[in-house]
Chain A
Amino acid sequence: MSGATPHLVLDRLTRRFSEARAAVDAVSLEIAAGELVALIGASGSGKTTTLRMVAGYEIPDGGAVVLDGRDITSLPPQRRQFGMVFQHYALFPHLTVGQNVAFGLEARGVARSERMSRAAEALAGVGLADAEGRAIQSLSGGEQQRVALARALIIEPPVLLLDEPLSNLDPTLRRSTREELRSTLRRLGVTALFVTHDQEDAFAVADRVALLAAGRLLQVGTAEALYDRPANRDVAAFIGRSTLVPGTLDGDRIAIQLGGDLRTLRAAPAPDLPSRGPATAVLRPDALGFSPPNGPDAWPGVVQERRFAGALLAYRVGVAGDVDLELHSTVRDVQPGDTVWVRVTREPVAVVA
């Protein structure tokens, strides 16, 4: 990131719910002002617990949360004022839409007329003009999400926290809402940390993605970096789809054997990998393509499965050595049972331990 001091720092944050295993294990993360960072991981990976420690709802067993150089680890949530957007939105059912949005201002003692006009403004900012008087119960899921966002943004939080903000929306609404979310946060220059289990959401909204598994931070980087340069097998397996093929690394080359032929590919090894020795090539479906029969560096195989996925078709091709390669192609006239030739179309390929 930029050389400026980070806005928010998570320093070796740790939380144990039992002696046996830490739910969050020494997670460190730096977030710059105005940056959108997504915390992703499977359920139980510790992402929500991490977020709750940042918000102050959960007290860490170790480590620190630092905001603009100030240690805020022991501050209660009401003094941090990060304005969290909850998974189920947590809108106050006894207050109107306008009162919900104005709540943070009311808590600060802002006069009624001012807070209501600012709430109206905030609602207009999320496309809900004139909704102030409505009851929470009358809102659709998407509207509730936007009210929750407006309610959190109105207090101008130093960092906006969002816990699975899109998971309660249907797929179509979800796509449009996440674009809105990104453009709103961008427009306002908000720093945000959001938790999601959906990598598509993370890729669409975040500048950087932090992947957690079993309480540990596996890798932080742009979506492209995580996809193209996974730090280890777990990242490669979690982010996107891939076929993992064993091989031998030699500097910036990896030799893999599928069937009888040894092929050498240009390699982009993970940073902590020894430069020589056994390693695993990560073959992404979009870095593989069909080749003319007997083409150079191509493997013969039989199509096992053909799945239409809109712009692309996803094929599973069984090559020698019982390996199934997954590949995406715009080629449509290949059918299951056909013999095809497959080659790597984009190099270097990622290499992990």
Chain B
Amino acid sequence: MSQRADEKGTWLFALPVLLVLLWTVVYPNASIIVGSFEHGLRSWRQFASSPTDIEALRTTLIISVGSVIASVAVGLPLAFLLTRVEFRGRRILSAVATLPAALPPLVGVVAFLFLYGESGVVTRGVQALLGLDHAPWTLNGAGAIIFVHAYTMYVYVFLFVSAGLERLDTSLDEAAAGLGASRSFRLRRVTLPLLTPAIAGSMLLVFMSALGSFSAPYIFGGGLRVLSTQIVASKLNGAMGLAYVETTVLAVGAIAALILLRWFERRRTYAVSSKGSVVRTRLHSRSARALAPIAGVILVVILVLPHAMVVLVAFARDGTWTTQVLPPEYTFDNFRRLATNSDLWVPIWNSVSMTAIATVLDIVVCLLAAYLLVLRRFRMRWLLATLVALPWAIPGTAIGLGLASTFDRTSLAGARVLLVGTFWILPLAYFVRGVPLVSSATEGSLRQMDPSLEDAARGLGASWWLTMRRVVLPASRPGLVAGAMLAAIAAVGEFVASIVLFTQANRPISMEILSQLRNFAFGTAAAFSVVLIALVLAITLIARWAEGRWSRAEAVVIQ
């Protein structure tokens, strides 16, 4: 096939993918930027002269940087410990290390409230233990938000760095040792530089997530203002111009960070041979051997506690838990109500169906996008690469507001469809938020495939479709499954965009939890949280099953 004919064929796929992404990602956000200038510079002046907005901007940045530092401080050592060192309890710790990521953002925040809040179990426990009059701490302000962020977001650092460490060619480390390099010199000069893409990538992810984080500031903020909560406040006050400006500032800041870190990441990317095999060293010193399991147990408890707390409260009788350390009365009522009251079933069914729709869309669009990005050459490649990464940087609140202001009426000339107030607006939002997760994971898998495999298959006379099905799809499978799993987990517990877009009819579980909390129905809220955790678990199991089913194909394609 000639080069030109090849490019023509590529456009057949590239064009629809580009159009979908331009329409759902770029258009809504562009209309927000346009909207911020609707009254000339008035909204911008209003923003610049508002001390609360300036303070919100400053606080947002402080919290984001603090979250990155805290997540790296926890995730990096833990990744090294679990991939490089063999000690008793390592397997259990590995198993629970990623647990916080499985906790939907709102549920995590609720669990922290139950645990470390003013009337939380740990707080009351410490208070009782020390015989204090007051709670030993209060869970609000920037510190509390960074604390919650570190708990949920260190997982990104942990996962990226662990994967990087596992891919690292161990002979590089051995070569350095053989040349006389000490352990710390090797770490500084070989291991960490080679892990830079992984570390930078995860820092990027934490920064973006913290920048757009809504649940923690919304619940723990107290008097503290951050941009994401300001946007919702401005919208509720009807100050749409100001909301657009705040959204633009937040999104532009995040996109600037994305571009910066992408550039940095690209400068430091190497093809690392996949020959590495992880060798875990045993702990040599006796004290380290004795301390490791204890430290491991403490970590496991800290990691499991939020889940355990949510489960515990789900069995607490609503209204009985007031000043005691632990809820005094337990009952199945909360779940019984959930099972029998069909009204309470609605949010669960909503979340499941909307997640399924969004995830299927993500899989189709992102598989094509990753295929085009890795294995095809065409002129608009850079645009596609930008479009799939963009929703990463754009905070959920901004995505929500963009969709709300774009799909609020049907207009053929404006390429607008009325979706606000309908069921479909939330699956669309979930789809957009899932795009970067699925496409980057799939891209990662495809990049590990030897590109000559596709040529080889075509050279053997396989049709495009057969090549796609037998070579490209199996090679992209691990990333596709992992990415789709992450997207589905994010969608099923989605809260940030939902709070901007939901209606009574399509309210997802997260909104139901919030409304139950507002009614002080802690038990019911916790029961919904348990359902959410169960759904996350189910998604994980489905992903595992899908992976197992296809693993033989993978073994052939990726040596």
Contacts and interface: CB of A to CB of B under 8 A. Distances in A.
A77 interface: yes
Nearest to B272: A93
A86 interface: yes
Given A88-B273, A93-B272, A78 B174 contact: no
23 contacts: A76-B177, A77-B177, A81-B179, A81-B180, A82-B178, A83-B178, A84-B174, A84-B175, A84-B178, A88-B169, A88-B275, A92-B175, A93-B271, A93-B272, A103-B176, A104-B179, A104-B180, A107-B182, A108-B180, A137-B271, A151-B179, A155-B179, A155-B180
Given A88-B275, A93-B270, A103 B172 contact: no
A81 B190 CA distance: 17
A56 B196 CA distance: 28
Interface in B156-194: 169, 171-172, 174-183, 185, 189-190, 193-194
B171 A86 contact: yes
A325 interface: no
Nearest to B275: A88
A55 interface: yes
A81 B177 CA distance: 8
B112 to A, nearest CB: 39
B8 interface: no
A93 B194 contact: yes
Contacts of A108: 180
A57 interface: yes
Interface string B189-223: 11001101000000000000000000000000000
A90 B169 contact: yes
A79 B179 CA distance: 9
B268 interface: yes
A209 B464 CA distance: 53
Contact of B179 (A57, A93, A152): A152
A83 B268 contact: no
Contacts of B185: 107
Contacts of A76: 177
B181 A78 contact: yes
A94 B272 CA distance: 10
A190 B213 CA distance: 61
Given A57-B177, A78-B181, A155-B179, 6 more contacts: A81-B179, A90-B174, A92-B175, A94-B196, A104-B181, A107-B180
A86 B175 contact: yes
Contacts, number: 80
Interface in A76-129: 76-84, 86, 88, 90-94, 103-104, 106-108
Contacts of A78: 177-178, 180-183
Interface of B: 169, 171-172, 174-183, 185, 189-190, 193-194, 196, 268, 270-273, 275
Contacts of B176: 92, 103, 107
Greatest chain B CB density within 10 A among A90, A104, A152 is at A90
Contacts of A79: 180
Contacts of B179: 81, 83, 103-104, 107, 151-152, 155
A273 B176 CA distance: 47
B22 to A, nearest CB: 35
B272 A90 contact: no
A94 B177 contact: no
Contacts of A83: 178-179
A103 B175 CA distance: 10
Contacts of B268: 94
Nearest to B279: A57
Interface in A33-58: 55-57
Greatest chain A CB density within 10 A among B169, B175, B177, B272 is at B175
Contacts of B273: 88
B189 A81 contact: no
Nearest to A109: B185
B171 A88 contact: yes
A73 to B, nearest CB: 16
B16 to A, nearest CB: 36
Interface of A: 55-57, 76-84, 86, 88, 90-94, 103-104, 106-108, 137, 151-152, 155, 161
A82 B174 CA distance: 11
In the A-B complex, list the 6 residue pairs whose CB atoms are closest, starting with the nearest.
A104-B179, A93-B270, A90-B175, A107-B181, A90-B171, A77-B177
B270 A94 contact: yes
Given A88-B275, A93-B270, A103 B181 contact: yes
Contacts of A106: 189
Greatest chain A CB density within 10 A among B176, B178, B180 is at B178
Nearest to B196: A94
A232 to B, nearest CB: 34
Given A86-B171, A106-B189, A107-B185, A94 B194 contact: yes
Contacts of A80: 178
B115 to A, nearest CB: 42
A260 to B, nearest CB: 56
Contacts of A77: 174, 177-178
B35 to A, nearest CB: 45
Contacts of A84: 174-175, 178
Contacts of B193: 94
A76 to B, nearest CB: 7
A285 B174 CA distance: 43
B178 A81 contact: yes
A26 to B, nearest CB: 25
A107 B185 CA distance: 7
Contacts of B189: 103, 106-107
Contacts of B169: 88, 90
B381 to A, nearest CB: 22
A57 B170 CA distance: 11
Greatest chain A CB density within 10 A among B171, B177, B182, B183 is at B177
B268 to A, nearest CB: 7
B270 A55 contact: no
A96 to B, nearest CB: 13
Contacts of A103: 176, 179, 181, 189
Nearest to A136: B270
A197 B467 CA distance: 37
B185 to A, nearest CB: 5
B295 to A, nearest CB: 25
Given A78-B182, A106-B189, A107-B185, A92 B177 contact: no
A107 B177 CA distance: 9
Nearest to A135: B270
B171 to A, nearest CB: 4
Nearest to A102: B179
A2 to B, nearest CB: 28
Contacts of B177: 56-57, 76-78
A93 B268 CA distance: 10
A81 B182 CA distance: 11
B190 A92 contact: yes
A205 B17 CA distance: 59
A101 to B, nearest CB: 10
A293 B375 CA distance: 68
Nearest to A106: B189
A208 B190 CA distance: 36
A35 B180 CA distance: 23
A88 B273 CA distance: 9
A103 B189 CA distance: 9
B434 to A, nearest CB: 33
Contacts of A151: 175, 179
A55 B178 contact: yes
A155 B178 CA distance: 10
A77 B180 CA distance: 7
Nearest to A151: B179
Contacts of A56: 177-178
B125 to A, nearest CB: 45
A57 B180 contact: no
